[in-house]
Structure 1
């Protein structure tokens, strides 16, 4: 409304700055414009703020409502290095099992799956470039709460660092960048470091799970004495959740230990395609569970 009145006021001013038909001089019109323009700017800014605020609220509600969406979780999972590694590891050992199953009946198909297995294995080695730094950084940042755990962490991470470091040379020798004769030696050193580290990771997880069981029993006893103890219930829930994750870690490490043993000391059990295939899938799927977004 003020804008309409203002336009009428300006229309009443002649081009020479004199007084028009409505008797309004130029200075009065300018004053009215100065009063009106800031008001328009403020109103526009307020309207813009309301629109942006409503948009942000809508986005927040949408994000919250889709937190449990499987596709969103899959995208997050595959964005992680461990996530893509577990997916390709699944490809690797599924193709190994299929190759073993159809090797005698469908040689051509078996050869295709063998190529898929080899390609997946080499791809995983490429993805693990620089992975040995993870163990080093773990020791540097969080070596353990007690001397026992520090000792176990040093041994476990040292073995893992050897595994991932020499795995680089194994990969380069397998693809032909380095002498192919190095592959067998690099494979042995890498597998030895892997198995050495996994033993101490398993021991560490078992000790923590044992401590968790003892703490849970105490909390259950406390909960029976004090009814409706929300704090105790929450602690029990966290202990059980941690135990499940550590069980998955132990399962994965035992499975990988079998695979490493097949390389270090070949034997009919560990080197059987069925043993290797199942072990690889157990390790991969335990990793899926541990890395899947909650």
Structure 2
């Protein structure tokens, strides 16, 4: 993970751990690392260690749900901001409604899943709540993936236009050095943003795979335990990296 230049590592770590998303993603990494160890066959670990890892993984999964309390509010606010945009495109608004609406409903339902798992709500409702949660999560990722794909395509087109302009200016004697340096800086900045957006797209694909498995109750080739654990670890690592760089 990249560290802000000149900033002490422990101060950066303190800032990261002060965020609930920071702690949540570390727990997610720990959970899916444990899942990989459990799913690996043949396992190099004794039965006793595997049982402890299974209990640890289940406990961390329940703990992570507590970190999502009230998190649906951020999606409500995102929808409100999108609805007030003066340059709102109808197609983009529909996709944002699907993405933010689906994710917001997912986080809202997850609160009740957590209450069911902790015993405050009758566990009889747990399976139905988990199914609703999985569907809303999958719908949210569906919209998010399309939005990010469109944004990446626009970035590629913009980057190509800037690259062509940069090459053309370098060939022209009349072009100033400041113009060339400015274009190069814009290209580098856009390239970095496109890389981050691509990683975010990969994360959404990995998380949507987990949601799809929950919808299908763990059936099918795409629900292989090692594949799902690996997808979860990839998603957690990308998210942890983004949170580290943003704090």
TM-score normalized with structure 1 length: 0.74
Q: CA deviation at 1:92?
A: 0.8
1:135 counterpart = 2:87: no
Structure-1 residue corresponding to 2:120: 177
Equivalent-residue separation in structure 2 for 1:104 and 1:235 (angstroms): 50
Answering whether residue 42 of structure 2 is matched by residue 90 of structure 1, we say no
User: How far 1:251 moved relative to its partner?
Assistant: 1.0
Q: Greater shift after overlay, 192-201 or 234-243?
A: 234-243
The within-5 A match list for 1:64-213 is 66-67=6-7, 69-101=8-40, 106-143=46-83, 145-213=88-156
Per the alignment, do residues 99 and 148 of structure 1 end up closer, same or farther by CA in structure 2, a change over 3 Å counting? same
1:291 is paired with a residue whose SS is helix
Structure 2 runs not aligned, ≥5 long: 171-176
Query: What are structure 1's unaligned runs of at least 5 residues?
Result: 1-63
Deviation per residue, 1:22-44 (Å, 9 max, x gap): xxxxxxxxxxxxxxxxxxxxxxx
Match of 1:254 among 205, 210, 228: 205
- Taking the aligned partners of 1:135 and 1:124, their CA distance within structure 2 comes to 18
Contact 2:135–2:211, Cα closer than 8 Å, also in 1 = yes
Deviation at 1:147, TM superposition (A): 2.4
For 1:135 and 1:81, how far apart are their aligned partners in 2? 16
Q: Distance in 2 between matches of 1:75 and 1:181?
A: 40
User: C-alpha separation between the residues in 2 aligned to 1:149 and 1:289?
Assistant: 27
1:73-112, Cα deviation, whole Å (9 max, x unpaired):
2222222222111100011111112223376962211111
Which of these two proteins has the greater Rg computed from alpha carbons?
1
CA–CA distance in 1 between the matches of 2:119 and 2:33?
A: 26
- Helix, strand or coil: the match of 2:221? coil
TM-score, normalised to structure 2, is: 0.87
CA contact (8 A) 1:100 1:110 kept: no
Q: 1 CA distance for matches of 2:82 and 2:157?
A: 24
2:223 matches 1:271: yes
The separation in 1 between residues aligned to 2:36 and 2:160, in whole angstroms, is 43
Q: Which residue of 1 aligns with 2:174?
A: none
Query: How far off is 1:154 after superposition?
Result: 0.8
The yes-or-no answer on 1:235 pairing with 2:235 is no
Structure 1 stretch 223-232 or stretch 101-110: which is displaced more?
Answer: 101-110
The whole-number CA distance in structure 1 between the counterparts of 2:65 and 2:206 is 18
What RMSD over aligned residues (CA atoms) do the two structures have, in Å? Answer: 1.9
In 2, Cα distance between the equivalents of 1:65 and 1:244? 20
Q: Displacement, 1:238?
A: 1.9
**Any conservation in 1 of the 2:79–2:101 contact (CA below 8 Å)?**
no
Could you tell me how far apart the structure 2 residues matched to 1:105 and 1:155 are? Answer: 43
Instruction: State the distance in 2 between where 1:222 and 1:65 align.
Output: 32
